[in-house]
Structure 1
Amino acid sequence: MDFLKENLNTIIEGDCLEKLKDFPNKSVDFIFADPPYFMQTEGELKRFEGTKFQGVEDHWDKFGSFEEYDTFCLGWIRECQRILKDNGSICVIGSFQNIFRIGFHLQNLGFWILNDIIWHKSNPVPNFAGKRLCNAHETLIWCAKHKNSKVTFNYKTMKYLNNDKQEKSVWQIPICMGNERLKDAQGKKVHSTQKPEALLKKIILSATKPKDIILDPFFGTGTTGAVAKSMNRYFIGIEKDSFYIKEATKRLNNTRDKSDFITNLDLETKPPKIPMSLLISKQLLKIGDFLYSSNKEKICQVLE
């Protein structure tokens, strides 16, 4: 059976370093990657009043050294490069702890950086220790596979959604909270770094087309898949944590297609070219008529 058809809109369970090897070359249109950040936190994080703050303490974020982390990153980035179509693009998100190392690897492997996008968190977690600035943003690196790749960028759609102004590379979006934040039976966060759907909507809308295949090798609780499904895109997720897969599956089962003229990219459609002969046959023009520019200057005459 065809690998892609078998796995469209599914979650593949396992380590991405192994599961990515099963994908055919040049088989996906877009990749969103939210890899471990290698936070390197030591000791407990406490709020100002002394209560413990539940930060990123998960086992999947632990690495023995920068060398170990680099080896891990090079492994999945190389596979993503092989899997990505020639005109596809990849977007990797990270924080100050890891994004510069990832950008270094992306450039060394031949990816062409299109933009670094700043996710400005309108409600960031404070720096409880008070020893440095509050970290109020994360960085997304958006890359083409090659310098000459003809990537999808839905310029008109993004401009329309930005009050008819060119979209910029700083996006102010709140962190995931409220009903969107997945919680367990005890009221604790299911995933420590769950991304807001608004962020993924903006990324997917700007860089993909309907029916494109979107790969997320660090699927977590399925934000990428839920947004892709709601926007009439295909997704394939890879996740090794069975609990995350369970929660993501429930989420995806409750997700419906909400595509509309925006997500279907109606604004990107170019007007059809109409032959002059058709205009004449419909008596919209006749031989001898003059055509004028927008400032009413005569530019040509219709001749037989």
Structure 2
Amino acid sequence: MKVRAPKNRTIDLTDEDRDRFSPGLISLNGDRSTADILNKTICQDVFGALRHLPQTFVDLLIVDPPYNLTKDFNGKRFKQCDRATYADWLDRWIAQLIPLLKPSASAYFCADWATSTAMYPVLEKYFLIKNRITWEREKGRGAQANWKNASEDIWFCTVSEHYTFNVDAVKLKRQVMAPYRNSTGQPKDWDDSGSEHYRLTHPSNLWTDITVPFWSMSENTDHPTQKPEKLVAKLILASSKPNDVVFDPFLGSGTTSVVAKKLGRRYVGIEQDVDYCCLAEKRLALVNLDPSIQGYADGVFWERNTLAAQRHRPKKTIPTEA
């Protein structure tokens, strides 16, 4: 285990964690029912697992696949390839996802700028593409001969025209810098109940309120491409209902399952690396102690750095079993 600085809140995986959580992982060597896989982490290659999953069990699909970049995932190396080869790889597993989705299901696919161009034609074959969300990721170094890559995309897709979208659940609470009042002196589209003034704004496809997990955040792990809980919470709240099934076939360190549990949804995740699977299970256990999501409180998403109560939460530990 790495030696951390005193204020580093990154979630570590110990040998004791591996012993505790690995027995709860499952792998599929035959067809399974929905009951067999609900609220489980499937430790298996995605191609080996997908063919054994039940049909039409998914209400919401969230996918964060390896981008077309050479990257090491805990010793498993994904190698950059030409655009056609990458698009063919996308097509092979996306085609296998379609039978798993309910007719009313929605799907979100994460991508960087280069991956997006290869992904769009594949998604267009299988889905109705509703929008492209672009979110600002403030981490990363500058480039000397190019623009700094500071954004990523999320493609919003549906199986049909009948789908869930809860607009009121994903409004953003922003601070009002120039509060206007109407002719009677009442606040115009903002709240003056406190010392600072805020208003709820409708969600757009440009997100600038996301903080990428880093060492001082209690959700942070050593996974190289971990998505923020706040980002995933927006997708889940917008496009599912309580008790719906949220599925992530590239689970990584478990963010989708963790946020689904925090928000009262059921979940299924596939991840081929045992350590990442155990890390996901550890994070799921921690939900029982702290179900909060940084940047989300009182039923609304807060603009970055505006909610002091979200900061400096004590680090939680998992109680030992009796």
Q: d(CA) in 2 for partners of 1:88 and 1:100? A: 24
Q: Does 1:88 align with 2:101?
A: no
Indicate the structure (1 or 2) with the bigger Cα radius of gyration: 1
Matched residue type, 1:224: T
TM-score by length of 1: 0.72
Aligned position for 2:78: 61
Q: Is the 8 A contact 1:159 1:166 kept in 2?
A: yes
Match of 1:232 among 264, 268, 271: 264
Aligned position for 1:104: 121
Q: Does 1:246 align with 2:246?
A: no
| 1:195–1:156 distance in 2 versus 1, CA, 3 Å | same
Matches within 5 A, 1:189-208: 190-208=222-240
Q: Is the 8 A contact 2:134 2:154 kept in 1?
A: yes
Q: d(CA) in 1 for partners of 2:41 and 2:81? A: 28
| 1:161–1:214 distance in 2 versus 1, CA, 3 Å | farther
1:181: Cα distance to partner?
Answer: 5.2
Can you list the C-alpha shifts for 1:46-96, whole angstroms capped at 9, x where unaligned?
xxxxxxxxxx44444214433332222111111121111101010000101
Q: Does 1:124 align with 2:135?
A: no
Q: SS of 1:115's equivalent?
A: strand
| 1:64–1:258 distance in 2 versus 1, CA, 3 Å | closer
Match of 1:137 among 151, 160, 165: 151
1:131: Cα distance to partner?
Answer: 1.4
5+ residue gaps, structure 2, are: 1-30, 175-198, 301-322
Q: Does 1:115 align with 2:145?
A: no
Matched residue type, 1:159: K
Aligned position for 1:39: 69
Matched residue type, 1:231: L
Matched residue type, 1:212: D
Q: How many residues align?
A: 237
Q: Is the 8 A contact 1:181 1:194 kept in 2?
A: no
Aligned position for 2:171: 159
Aligned position for 2:211: 174
Q: SS of 2:36's equivalent?
A: helix
TM-score by length of 2: 0.68
Aligned position for 1:21: 51
Q: d(CA) in 2 for partners of 1:134 and 1:64? A: 22
Q: SS of 1:97's equivalent?
A: helix
1:182: Cα distance to partner?
Answer: 3.9
Q: Is the 8 A contact 2:68 2:81 kept in 1?
A: no
